[in-house]
Amino acid sequence: MQRASGKNLRDFAQESIFGPLGMIHTQYRVDHRALIAQRALAYSRVGTGYRMDISYYEQAGDGAVHTSVEDLLKWDENFYTAHVGGKQFLAEMQERGKLNNGKMLDYAKGLTVGVYRGLPFIEHGGSWGGYRAHLVRFPDQHLSVTCLCNVGNANPRPRAMRTAEVFLEEQMGPKPAEATPAAAVSAATAQAASIDVEKLAALAGEYSSDELSAVYRLELIGGVLTRTAILDRGGIPRTTSRAPLRPMGHDQFTVSGITLRFSTTAGVPSGFTADAGRTKGIVFVRAKP
Would you kindly state where each structural domain of the chain is located, as residue ranges?
2-171, 181-286
185/87: higher pLDDT: 87
Q: Indicate the fold that domain 181-286 takes in CATH.
A: Lipocalin (2.40.128)
Read off the pLDDT of residues 254-285 as tens digits, 9 standing for 90 and up.
Answer: 887 788 999 998 888 999 999 876 677 889 99
CB atoms within 10 A of CB 143: 17
C-alpha–C-alpha distance, residues 245 and 269, integer Å: 16
CB atoms within 10 A of CB 147: 21
Mean pLDDT of all residues in 244-248: 87
Q: Is the pLDDT of residue 185 over 60?
A: no
Give me the chain's average pLDDT, please: 85
Let me know: does 209 contact 233? Beta carbons within 8 Å.
Answer: no
C-alpha–C-alpha distance, residues 137 and 141, integer Å: 9
- pLDDT above 70 covers a percentage of the chain that reads 87
Q: Provide the pLDDT for residue 6.
A: 87
Q: Is the pLDDT of residue 74 over 60?
A: yes
Read off the pLDDT of residues 154-183 as tens digits, 9 standing for 90 and up.
Answer: 888 889 999 999 999 999 998 876 545 555
Q: Provide the pLDDT for residue 278.
A: 63
Distances (CA, A) of 180 to 135, 208, 214, 254: 26, 29, 27, 16
pLDDT category of residue 195 using cuts at 50, 70 and 90: low
Backbone φ and ψ of 65, nearest 5° = -90, 125
Task: Among 66-70, 150-154, 229-233, name the one with the lowest average pLDDT.
Answer: 229-233
What superfamily does domain 2-171 belong to in CATH? Answer: DD-peptidase/beta-lactamase superfamily (3.40.710.10)
Q: What predicted TM-score, i.e. pTM, was given to this entire model?
A: 0.65
